[in-house]
Amino acid sequence: MNLRIINANLVVKLMGFYREKTTMFFTFAFPIILILVFGTIFMSQDSMEYRLCVQDLDQTNSSAQAVEILELNGKFKITRVDPAVNAAQYVRVNRVNLVLVIPKGYERSLIQRMMLNDQNASVTITYIYDPSSSSVITKMQILNSVLAVINQGMSGKPPFIRSVEESILTRKYRFIEFFVPGIIAMSVMTLSLFGTVDSDTELRQKGIIRKLSTTPITRTDWILSNILYHFILAVISTIAMLLVSYAVFDVSLHIDAWLLAFILLDVFAFVGTGMILTRFVKEAQSAAAAANAISFPMMFLSGSFFPIELMPGFLQKFARTLPLFYVNEGLRASMVFRDNMAALRSAAIIGVFAAVVFILGIVATKWEEGK
């Protein structure tokens, strides 16, 4: 191993990459575009569920307080609807799926109930909703439970059954926060796999490999500089993706050494896969096709874009045989769920895979053209 040679090789590769603007653009921009597109689609869905339109016809201190309770509940972001408008019309015109209407006389009924202890005094809150919206039912259920708690509280007796919400996830996450680690895993895979396949077949076809084999550069130097090159690109690409995710979607992702570790393992695994491919598929075009055949199903089946829980059982089983699945799992474990043990488990599995593939790749890479 010769660091100066590795460095010389790295510099040439980076310069070539930098000067090839279209490749550079697609390498870095494509994952960012994916994040922007999918992030935007799902961002609106994320927030629609929590927006609540309230029309307060009573316009009293008490009714305002009630609205505030709904807001403080934390599940809703309240939009106040002008009491003068027709609520049903408002639903249609503004394409919201639900307006909660607090009736006139709310405060009066409340005083009757609380002060005068009139058990018959009550108010009726109306949901004006659009039944064609799929999320409106969930929204009404949440509302009902919030109202039940308020009712219960007013009865003055402590509740018998209490519930505590305990998600299996240690913290709540948004779709985009699930998505970004998947895209990082995927784009590091594609840039390593295709980068290796493209450059190896090109250099082989151009006879540059043959020329290099008459210089002191060794196979190890060559492969190490390749790894380093892809690692650098992967880190730059990841930083770009994260910057955009933070700036545009204000994601909350945990970044620590695991991120670097998984990027590195991802690079090793798929540079190795690329090296094996180019050994067996000599033509540049068929090599690219083979790389596609490997990476394409992997993207969709290993949970880069959506949770594998959404897939049928046998596909879920299959997903667990895919290396990219473990990069996804590991990155999410560390970035979203902050679960070091889970990250370690995934790292171990992808680590073994990367080691095996990489060693096979080294064995498969023939420096000398001739037999």
Ligand X SMILES: Nc1ncnc2c1ncn2[C@@H]1O[C@H](COP(=O)(O)OP(=O)(O)OP(=O)(O)O)[C@@H](O)[C@H]1O
Tell me which residues in 8-27 interact with other proteins (CB under 8 A): 8-9, 11-12, 15-16, 19-20
Nearer to ligand X, 157 or 371 (CB): 371
Q: 282: which residues sit within 8 A by CB, 6+ positions away?
A: 201, 204
Residue 312 or 370 with smaller CB distance to ligand X: 370
Task: Residue 210: name its binding partner from other proteins, ligand X, none (Cβ under 5 to 8 Å by kind).
Answer: other proteins
Query: Which does residue 213 touch among ligand X, other proteins, none (CB within 5 to 8 A, set by kind)?
Result: other proteins
- 355 close to 264: Cβ distance less than 8 angstroms: no
Tell me the HSE value of 260 on the side-chain side, using a 13 A CA sphere.
4
Task: Decide if residue 282 touches other proteins (CB under 8 A).
Answer: no
Residue 158 binds: one of other proteins, ligand X, none (C-beta under 5 to 8 A by kind): none
8 or 146, CB closer to other proteins?
Answer: 8
Phi, psi angle pair for 256, to nearest 5° = -145, -165
Q: Does residue number 368 form part of the binding site for other proteins (CB under 8 A)?
A: yes
Residue 157 in contact with other proteins, rule: CB under 8 A = no
User: Whose Cβ is closer to other proteins: residue 22's or residue 285's?
Assistant: 22
Residue number with CB closer to ligand X (172 or 371): 371
Burial 94-115 (b: 16+ CB within 10 A, else e): eebbbbbbbeebbbebbebbee
Contact between 88 and other proteins (CB under 8 A)?
A: no
Minimum separation from the CB atom of position 328 to other proteins (A): 34
Q: What SS3 class is residue 58?
A: coil
- Smaller CB distance to other proteins: residue 10 or 36? 10
Shortest Cβ 371–ligand X spacing (Å): 6
Q: What minimum distance in Å lies between the beta carbon of 24 and other proteins?
A: 11
Q: How far apart are CA 42 and CA 74, in angstroms?
A: 20
16 or 159: CB nearest other proteins = 16
**3-state class percentages of the chain: helix first, strand second, coil last, to nearest 5:** 70, 5, 25
Spatial distance between the Cα atoms of 191 and 187, rounded to a whole number of angstroms: 6
Helix (H, G, I), strand (E, B) or coil at 333: helix
Measured CA distances, 82 to 58, 100, 104 (Å): 11, 12, 13
Q: How many residues sit close enough to other proteins to count as binding (CB under 8 A)?
A: 27
DSSP-derived secondary structure letter, 336 = T
Residue with tokens 């667990």: 320
Q: How far is the CB of 201 from ligand X (least distance, A)?
A: 17
Between 296 and 367, name the residue whose CB sits nearer to ligand X: 367
Residues 217-256 as x/- pattern, contact with other proteins by CB under 8 A: x---------------------------------------
Taking the complex as a whole, the smallest distance from the CB of residue 212 to other proteins amounts, in Å, to 8
Q: Hey, what are 355's tokens?
A: 């080691």
Taking CB under 8 A as the criterion, the residue among 2, 112, 292, 316 binding other proteins is 2
What ranges make up the beta strands (E) of the chain? 51-56, 77-81, 98-102, 126-129
Q: Which does 328 bind (CB under 5 to 8 A by kind): other proteins, ligand X, none?
A: none
Yes or no: say if 63 and 107 are a contact pair by the CB < 8 Å rule.
yes
Collapse the DSSP code of 46 into the 3-class scheme (helix H, G, I; strand E, B; otherwise coil) and give the result: helix
Smallest distance, other proteins to C-beta of residue 206, A: 4
Distance between CA 146 and CA 32 in Å, rounded? 39
Annotate each residue in 178-217 with x if it binds other proteins (CB under 8 A) or - if it does not, as one string: ----------------------------xxx-xxxxxxxx
- Using CB under 6 A, list all residues that contact ligand X: 370-371
User: Could you tell which of ligand X, other proteins, none binds residue 293, using a CB distance below 5 to 8 A set by kind?
Assistant: none
Residues 6 or more apart in contact with residue 80 via CB below 8 angstroms: 53, 54, 55, 56, 67
* Residues engaged in binding other proteins (CB under 8 A): 2, 4-5, 7-9, 11-12, 15-16, 19-20, 206-208, 210-217, 368-371
